[in-house]
Chains A and B, each alone.
Chain A
């Protein structure tokens, strides 16, 4: 029994070395950068998107300051990973500012697919903690004017932002691996899965679905440029159940999931 346990432990160690060959998130080149998720933006008449902007530095230090000239910067990216625009947003002295993204991007030349946010951190830098400010805030998605937004928090340490420079922080391995979405799809509903590529290279993705144990079918394949995004759709009929898995070289290809029905919307991490 002990030998069996020991062999299992060794196999796990070997596997880990094969599949996770470096840290999940690269250390940014500039220690004054903000680390931000690549938050998914939804465009189109069905969607109204907001972001809850907080003064992260003030939250860390325990005091909101009403100092002029403190700004957060919103970086908007296309689905192919190009930086479309950067919009500066004054940090107000109030603790919470809801940014109406659908209004903010209305004048852009192209609708964004993702966005990231940088924050000032002069005061935080003086604490000498060697830590960096992380933007993992809350995006609110309202679907077909339902009146209630579904919120999802940032959790992917995707990019480092510093003075117009955008550095992808995601690492990836040489061996393809599978990520199984930790949710059984149930209908009737339309599921949409938002994937971003936080690495510096273009990545390939293969989607498989299963409706019976150990039987997987190819659903779709696509590539995503560095800092790009793709949303793929799987409709589920009434009484149908499916499981989804995603093959890629990403350490963890975890999607944001949008589940819509005729009368509701649910958004969550898959």
Chain B
């Protein structure tokens, strides 16, 4: 990932998260995949054997790989062609309880910030509604990042609306992109400590992140915001998720 001037990194461990689900032990190929010119470009980064780990940074990627601020790291059992028309559908590392993940984030010379990551392609038609409850105040710059990945390599403009949850009015409309990491500065909206902005896209799903950066750039903070389904458990969660989205979207002015 690339955001602002920070170096993106991904820490990958070739050890399954549990000792009873995964059966692969053969060396694997770690590829970088990124969208460019209507295809997914591929680049072999490393071969990894069971028990090894690697930290991949922006500097390991070929020039141009972060054109959309996003490159995917794909562990593959076999070598890939240099261009793909769609993302590989085969999972090489299979684990469900829990899913096999990595740690991704950003680094500066003095700090790093991480989250536990994995991503499946989003459907082409989907929506995003999320609340951002951890905008920071004081000597901090705040940003929202949207991370979208789709099966097909197209980088398409979509819309993200910033809404005020009290008045339900729109504060701004931003252009975001598919197969990209979009960085949106939030300081200009003058949010107060008791505000809870809503980010709503009617035509693109994404993983939203809050990124905090100290004014001197020395300290970083990254975490994703929740989808509405996280507010409940058990019962008809999908129905409740639909209800939450409907309740908010229908009330926007």
What are 10 pairs between A and B in contact, CB < 8 Å? A52-B133, A59-B231, A138-B223, A178-B19, A182-B13, A183-B13, A184-B54, A251-B97, A261-B111, A268-B116
Q: Is the interface of B mostly helix, strand, loop or mixed?
A: mixed
Q: Compute how far the CA of A128 lies from the CA of B52 in the bound complex, rounded to whole angstroms.
A: 50
How many Å from the CB of B80 to the closest CB on chain A?
A: 21
Q: Which of B239-253 contact A (CB under 8 A)?
A: 239-240, 243-244, 246-248, 250-251
The one of A35, A62, A95, A264 in contact with B196, judged by C-beta atoms closer than 8 angstroms, is A95
Q: Say whether A266 contacts B113, CB under 8 Å.
A: yes
Task: Indicate if A96 sits at the interface (CB-CB under 8 A).
Answer: yes
How many Å from the CB of B196 to the closest CB on chain A?
A: 3
How many Å from the CB of A128 to the closest CB on chain B?
A: 9
Q: Which of B49-67 contact A (CB under 8 A)?
A: 49-55
A171-186 Cβ-contact flags toward B at 8 Å (1 or 0): 0000001111111101
How many Å from the CB of A118 to the closest CB on chain B?
A: 14
Q: Compute how far the CA of A8 lies from the CA of B24 in the bound complex, rounded to whole angstroms.
A: 11
Q: Say whether B20 contacts A177, CB under 8 Å.
A: yes
Task: Indicate if B219 sits at the interface (CB-CB under 8 A).
Answer: yes
A213: chain B residues at CB < 8 Å are 49-52
Chain B contact-residue range equals 35 or more
Q: Say whether A62 contacts B218, CB under 8 Å.
A: no
The one of A12, A95, A153 in contact with B223, judged by C-beta atoms closer than 8 angstroms, is A153
Name the 3 nearest CB pairs between A and B, nearest first.
Answer: A62-B247, A213-B51, A130-B235
Q: Compute how far the CA of A14 lies from the CA of B250 in the bound complex, rounded to whole angstroms.
A: 47
Task: Indicate if B187 sits at the interface (CB-CB under 8 A).
Answer: no
Task: Indicate if A167 sits at the interface (CB-CB under 8 A).
Answer: no
| Stretch in B30-38, B135-143, B176-184 with 4+ CB within 8 Å of A | B135-143
The residue of chain B having its C-beta at the shortest distance from the C-beta of A50 within the complex is: B134
B9-34 Cβ-contact flags toward A at 8 Å (1 or 0): 00111011111110100000000000
Q: Say whether A146 contacts B214, CB under 8 Å.
A: yes
If A129-B240, A269-B116 touch, does A63 touch B97 (CB 8 Å cutoff)? Answer: no
Q: Say whether B213 contacts A12, CB under 8 Å.
A: no
A26-60 Cβ-contact flags toward B at 8 Å (1 or 0): 01000000010000000000000000101010011
A218: chain B residues at CB < 8 Å are none
If A60-B232, A131-B236, A132-B232 touch, does A252 touch B98 (CB 8 Å cutoff)? Answer: yes
How many Å from the CB of B111 to the closest CB on chain A?
A: 4
Q: Say whether A52 contacts B244, CB under 8 Å.
A: no
Q: Say whether B210 contacts A151, CB under 8 Å.
A: yes
A-B contact count (CB 8 A): 217
Q: Which of A218-270 contact B (CB under 8 A)?
A: 241, 243, 245, 251-252, 254, 259, 261, 263-266, 268-270
A63: chain B residues at CB < 8 Å are 247, 251
How many Å from the CB of B105 to the closest CB on chain A?
A: 8
Task: Indicate if A190 sits at the interface (CB-CB under 8 A).
Answer: no
Q: Compute how far the CA of A64 lies from the CA of B131 in the bound complex, rounded to whole angstroms.
A: 14
Q: Say whether B230 contacts A182, CB under 8 Å.
A: no
Q: Say whether B116 contacts A95, CB under 8 Å.
A: no
If A96-B193, A241-B53 touch, does A62 touch B110 (CB 8 Å cutoff)? Answer: no
Task: Indicate if A3 sits at the interface (CB-CB under 8 A).
Answer: no
Q: Say whether B17 contacts A180, CB under 8 Å.
A: yes
If A148-B219, A251-B97 touch, does A64 touch B166 (CB 8 Å cutoff)? Answer: yes
A97: chain B residues at CB < 8 Å are 194
Q: Say whether A254 contacts B133, CB under 8 Å.
A: no
Q: Which of B82-98 contact A (CB under 8 A)?
A: 97-98
How many Å from the CB of A108 to the closest CB on chain B?
A: 25
How many Å from the CB of B252 to the closest CB on chain A?
A: 10
The residue of chain B having its C-beta at the shortest distance from the C-beta of A210 within the complex is: B51
If A184-B54, A214-B51, A269-B116 touch, does A94 touch B11 (CB 8 Å cutoff)? Answer: no
If A179-B17, A184-B55 touch, does A134 touch B232 (CB 8 Å cutoff)? Answer: yes
B138: chain A residues at CB < 8 Å are 147
Q: Compute how far the CA of A89 lies from the CA of B69 in the bound complex, rounded to whole angstroms.
A: 42
Q: Say whether B113 contacts A150, CB under 8 Å.
A: yes
A168: chain B residues at CB < 8 Å are none
B204-230 Cβ-contact flags toward A at 8 Å (1 or 0): 000000101110001111011010101
Q: Say whether A96 contacts B50, CB under 8 Å.
A: no
Q: Compute how far the CA of A48 lies from the CA of B185 in the bound complex, rounded to whole angstroms.
A: 26
Most buried by B among A12, A129, A254: A129
Q: Compute how far the CA of A56 lies from the CA of B243 in the bound complex, rounded to whole angstroms.
A: 14
